[in-house]
Amino acid sequence: MGNWVVNHWLAVLCLVAWLGLNVFLFVHAFLKYEKDDKYYYTREILGTALAVARASAFCLNFNSMLILIPVCRNLLSFLRGSFCSRTLRKSLDHNLTFHKLVAYMICIFTAIHIIAHLFNFERYSRSHHVTTITLASVLSSLHHDKEGGFWLNPIQSPDMTVLYVTFTTIAGLSGVIITIALILMVTSSMEFIRRHYFELFWYTHHLFIIYMVCLWIHGLGGIVRGQTEKSMNESHPHKCAQSFEKWDDHDPDCKEPQFEGHPPESWKWTLAPVALYIFERFLRFYRSQQKVVITKVVMHPSKVLELQMKKHGFSMEVGQYIFVKCPSISFLEWHPFTLTSAPEEDFFSIHIRAAGDWTENLIRVFEQQNSLIPRIEVDGPFGTASEDVFQYEVAVLVGAGIGVTPFASILKSIWFKLQHSDHKLKTQKIYFYWICRETGAFAWFKDLLTSLEQEMEESGKVGFLNYRLFLTGWNSNIAGHAALNFDKATDILTGLKQKTFFGRPMWDNEFSTIATTHPKSVVGVFLCGPLTLAKSLRKCCHRYSSLDPRKVQFYFNQENF
């Protein structure tokens, strides 16, 4: 628990502050509309549902203000590369998690807002159908023609339906559009949709533009109304509410109350982050228009495409990622890929596995040898948790399948650093685990590992890198063949000196060994892989970290883009 607090105290503090602000805004707005004399007459018709609707609207504006900031990747990369401490950088790695939490909060307050307004419209409608004269019925009959601008009830007559008001007013129609856009964005963001139908997720998510525009105009109709300041002086509700039957007699002491709607407020909350996001998009567009030259195309086994590229002014750090667009496949879609090259190389590269329509089409285009190389646009690079790998004394790298890509960049960079004896590394030991389903996936990466083995032998740093390859999908023939050749100097499957393991790592055993070997070290654990694996590694980090801060501490980091 102590290690978890050390790892995440800033993120927890931000989360608590965010939740606290939501509670504060809701309570503050609720009390304002529940107690303020300006809304006394409005409450006579609507009751407490008025305060609930307005309080949820305040929280919706607040969270809509925050929703875009976590996806301003240039801003996050700037913060990460500037004066940020390791604790703050780790908090920045949770940007998409916070983005999702804010989205869920928007959904919750949207539901509350809609339900409250359903009660409001039902009471607006019911006030026209009472058999006796009440304050609510008199208030609902004020200025039915709306021309005076001082009406209170948007439902003008007993014949007007709630459905008609919903689809013929700015507030009602924009509210329906906002709700539909929100439902589509949230449902298309499910893990299954994003992994198997990324294009659907990508296009649907851009409904946030419609969401923001409708949010800005939602208050133009002035549906929720309060008494005007002038009318408060002429007909204060505490004095005149009981004499409502005399309003038509033009009582000089209690004139007929007059009402006005609220001006739109959402734009005040969201204007700054929207402007920041627009600047972000312009910057990314400008960078994406810079020419990219593809210098080498390699087709690896298991349908993995390697692209080596050059771009003027491109500068990267280990473990960073870029967004790639191929206009001949899709004019709008951008897809993120981790860089597999090292900063020391004179090119940058990515490895692309067929995992959806877009990637399959891209690989198919490059496989056609007779066709021209398609134009590629690149935006980035952007920072990730893997940038911090050399800030730890001991690093544990865990990749699953194509998730090995950020560690390719790291291991290449280590290879270059080992060649220059004057370069001092803070990192003293690296443990590398790669988990794959099929043997073909090892093929494109084994050359790098072979070079590292050779370089470490020549530089006298044989123990610097401890790597283990795990094969999770195999048949009896492969296992039998490996067992028969176990005594050979190199592995029968990969040709490496380190033998391939069958099955999955026993993480408790691995962490226990590392903790025993490095009893006073700070260990950074880096993962690029599925959530189930992340949960296991996170638990092990907490379990094997010492309560004594002077002894071994494990810090968990996960790729998140």
300 and 334 in one domain? yes
183 and 85 in one domain? yes
Q: What residues contact 77, with CB distance under 8 A and at least 6 apart?
A: 381, 382, 383
56 in any annotated domain: yes
514 in any annotated domain: yes
CATH number at residue 412: 3.40.50.80
246 in any annotated domain: no
Backbone angles phi, psi at 503, to 5 degrees: 105, -165
3 in any annotated domain: no
401 and 354 in one domain? no
301 in any annotated domain: yes
469 and 372 in one domain? no
Strands (E), 256-311: 259-261, 292-300, 304-311
CATH number at residue 303: 2.40.30.10
Give CA–CA dist 361/141, Å, rounded: 64
375 and 434 in one domain? no
- Its pTM stands at 0.78
240 in any annotated domain: no
434 and 313 in one domain? no
39 and 116 in one domain? yes
Per-residue pLDDT of the chain (561 residues; tens, 9 = 90+): 445 555 667 778 889 999 999 999 999 999 999 998 888 888 888 889 999 999 999 999 999 999 999 988 888 877 776 656 666 667 777 788 899 999 999 999 999 999 999 998 888 888 877 767 777 777 777 765 545 557 888 887 777 888 888 888 888 899 999 999 999 999 998 888 887 777 788 889 999 999 999 999 998 877 888 888 888 887 788 877 776 666 656 556 777 788 888 788 899 999 999 999 999 889 888 888 888 999 988 887 777 888 999 998 888 888 888 999 888 888 878 888 888 888 888 889 888 887 777 888 888 888 876 667 888 999 888 887 777 788 888 889 888 877 777 787 887 887 777 676 556 777 888 888 888 776 666 666 666 677 766 766 766 666 777 888 888 766 555 555 555 555 565 665 555 666 677 788 888 898 888 888 888 888 888 888 888 888 888 888 888 888 777 888 888 888 765
Q: Which of 369, 418, 386 is nearest to 528 (CA)?
A: 386
Question: Cα-atom radius of gyration of the chain, to the nearest Å?
Answer: 31
Backbone angles phi, psi at 214, to 5 degrees: -65, -30
Domain that holds residue 335: 290-382
139 in any annotated domain: yes
212 and 71 in one domain? yes
How many structural domains are present in the chain? 3
154 and 262 in one domain? yes
411 and 522 in one domain? yes
127 and 84 in one domain? yes
224 and 295 in one domain? no
Pseudo-torsion of CA 18, 22, 25, 31, nearest 10°? -150
